[in-house]
Amino acid sequence: MRSVSNFVRVAGLAACVLAVAGCGGTAPSGQQLSFVPSFPPAGTLPPVETDFDVVGRDIEISDVPTTSASAATSAGAFQSNVQPFASRKLKFFIHGMDYSPTQVGQPVNNNPLGSGNAAIWQRDIPLLRAMGVNAIHVYNVDPNVNGPIDNALKALWNNNSKPIFVVFSIHFGATCLNSTGCANDLATQYYNLDKKYATNPAVLGVTISNEINPCNQATDPQCGIPSNATYWNNFNIIAKRAKQGFADGGDKSKLVMTSNVDDNNYTLSQGEKFGAAVDVWGINVYRGRGFVYTGQTGDLFAQIRATTTKPVVITEYGGTAGWHPKGSIGKTYKYPLSDGSGACQPAGGLPYAITDIAPMPATGKISMAGLNDLVTFSNTQLYQGWKSDGVVSGGFYFEWTDEWWKQNPDNPAARSTHWGNANVVDSYPACARDEAWYGLNAISPGTALAPRSTLTTLKNVWAKQPTT
């Protein structure tokens, strides 16, 4: 059974964003380097561009500018008199966060980086930096909602002090990949967006929508399925035009990426077969406590190694912080089992009541201790995979704040009531998968955040993992 993220993003043709920041590398002599100090000294104006390369499984970033000041000025708002230096390329590992800060009472925020949402992103960006985040995954940018994103990009760049690099996208559904006309229309939108921001120093690249591979042709005959040439031909119309937009805008080094549902790498294998025009594969993975378990022939890293030599980033992973006190009576989450996984025992049970939901306690048979272990174990595996052979280049934890609307996107009442879901999911510490409870921060009406213990756990794990 494939493990997927079971939520719906409602954006029409709005743009989504993936942001990556604060990257380091290894010098030829092996000494540890920080990405930021390798730029020109304090007091100079920020460089107008950073370059990115894919070298085998690695994503590498340049530590010096290469684009002229005139190109930056024409792109939109950054100017620099910094002259080109001899460039070095530094590998980096992503300590990422999925970022979709939707307030209580609201549907999904289709433009969280817009100027109209400045009170929220101005609150969050310093907190994200402080906990060691070097990447954020922002799903939607629609200039018709909340206004332009230029000020957010400037804040993310942060005058080249721990800069956060952004990957744009235009969100669309899988059915569009059945239509060449629809693909051509999207390709034009991607081209224009990428050309506009190609030389903006905060831009890393583009991701081609989010989760456009999970539909079932048996129940939806019009859905794009990733096993036919039409799907990939139309996908490539979009992906190639997106890349051309960056090139025509002045920086062909920007990356084209995906953010796919985990289907045991079926989509990835088909994409390789049909020549998907991507630089980096992104996968949203929900396989319980970690990604690799002892004796499991189908573990994620083995599947990646057998399928692609391109870089792979885990674009979502995590677990719910809510539990069902009445419905889970008699269950105990046990970890680690002999294969390294965790599981709720006894397995199964009746569906939960959506109103039977509460924050997990700190300790007990089902508790935050189990979720903190998931945070530690999964991040340890990601880092070990990167250090061993670069099989993954990091990941984005799902997610920064709870999103109440996600309990049921079609029910407006869910936006103002913190309900749970009925699913019994025994591979997770909560023995459940409650879509509205995944945040490192709980939220309430207003703008206050209530950090959970998982935030500190993740911060501490990352502090022990140099990204060089």
At residue 379, the pLDDT reads 97
Most confident of 31-35, 213-217, 332-336: 332-336
Q: Do residues 412 and 447 lie in contact, with contact meaning Cβ atoms separated by under 8 Å? A: no
At residue 376, the pLDDT reads 98
Q: 15-320+394-418+446-463: what fold?
A: TIM Barrel (3.20.20)
At residue 184, the pLDDT reads 98
Mean pLDDT over residues 262-290, rounded? 94
* pLDDT tier for residue 23 given thresholds of 50, 70 and 90: very low
Q: What's the whole-number average pLDDT of the chain?
A: 83
User: Given phi > 0 = left and psi -120 to 50 = alpha, else beta, which region is 94?
Assistant: beta
The more confident residue out of 71 and 229 is 229
Mean pLDDT over residues 265-276, rounded? 93
Mean pLDDT over residues 216-234, rounded? 76
* pLDDT tier for residue 187 given thresholds of 50, 70 and 90: very high
Inform me whether the pLDDT recorded for 29 exceeds 60. no
Inform me whether the pLDDT recorded for 197 exceeds 90. no
Tokens 């230029």 belong to residue? 150
Mean pLDDT over residues 63-80, rounded? 40
The tens digit of pLDDT for each residue in 97-151 reads 998 999 999 999 888 889 999 999 999 999 999 999 888 888 887 878 898 888 9
Distance (Å, whole) CA 211 – CA 36: 33
Q: Is the dihedral of CA 433, 436, 437, 439 positive or negative?
A: positive
How far separated are the first and last CA of the chain, in Å rounded? 36
At residue 12, the pLDDT reads 37
Question: Which residues lie closer than 8 Å to 363 by C-beta, 6 or more apart?
Answer: 369
Mean pLDDT over residues 278-290, rounded? 95
Inform me whether the pLDDT recorded for 468 exceeds 80. no
Instruction: Tell me the percentage of the chain whose pLDDT exceeds 70.
Output: 81
At residue 49, the pLDDT reads 57
Instruction: Tell me the percentage of the chain whose pLDDT exceeds 90.
Output: 58
Phi and psi at residue 156, to the nearest 5°? -65, -40
Q: What is the pTM of this model?
A: 0.86
* pLDDT tier for residue 418 given thresholds of 50, 70 and 90: very high
Distance (Å, whole) CA 425 – CA 63: 44
Inform me whether the pLDDT recorded for 22 exceeds 80. no
Mean pLDDT over residues 166-170, rounded? 81
The more confident residue out of 69 and 313 is 313
Inform me whether the pLDDT recorded for 434 exceeds 80. yes
Q: Which of 383, 459, 463 is nearest to 97 (CA)?
A: 459
Q: Is the dihedral of CA 154, 168, 161, 315 positive or negative?
A: positive
At residue 391, the pLDDT reads 97
Inform me whether the pLDDT recorded for 436 exceeds 90. yes
- Peptide bond before 143: cis, by omega within 30 degrees of 0? no
Q: Do residues 444 and 450 lie in contact, with contact meaning Cβ atoms separated by under 8 Å? A: yes
At residue 220, the pLDDT reads 65
The tens digit of pLDDT for each residue in 34-54 reads 333 333 333 333 444 567 888
Q: Is the dihedral of CA 240, 246, 251, 256 positive or negative?
A: negative
Q: Do residues 288 and 427 lie in contact, with contact meaning Cβ atoms separated by under 8 Å? A: yes
Inform me whether the pLDDT recorded for 321 exceeds 70. yes
HEC letters along the chain: CCCCCCCCCCCCCCEEEEEEECCCEECCCCCEECCHHHCCCECECCCCCCCEEEECCEEEEECCCCCCHHHHHHHCCCCCCCCCCCCCEEECCEEEEEECCCCCCCCCCCCCCCHHHHHHHHHHHHHHHHCCCCEEEEEEECCCCCCCCHHHHHHHHHHHCCCEEEEEEECCCHHHHHCHHHHHHHHHHHHHHHHHHCCCCCEEEEECCCCCCCCCCCCCCCCCCCCCHHHHHHHHHHHHHHHHHHHHHCCCCCEEECCEECCCCHHHHHHHHCCCCCCEEEEECCCCCCCCCCCCCCCHHHHHHHHCCCCEEEEEECCCCEECCCCCCCCEEECCCCCCCCEEECCCCCCCCCCCCEECCCCCCCCHHHHHHHHHHHHHHHHHHHHHHCCCCEEEECCCECCHHHHCCCCHHHHCCCCCCCCECCCCCCCECCHHHCCCEEECCCCCEEECHHHHHHHHHHHCCCCC
Mean pLDDT over residues 59-75, rounded? 50
Mean pLDDT over residues 396-421, rounded? 97
Distance (Å, whole) CA 78 – CA 55: 29
Mean pLDDT over residues 411-422, rounded? 97
Question: Which residues lie closer than 8 Å to 294 by C-beta, 6 or more apart?
Answer: 338, 339, 340
At residue 91, the pLDDT reads 87
Query: Exposure of 45 by Cβ count < 10 A (0-12 exposed, 13-18 middle, 19+ buried)?
Result: middle
Q: Which of 114, 118, 106, 111 is nearest to 139 (CA)?
A: 111
Most confident of 80-84, 158-162, 214-218, 279-283: 279-283
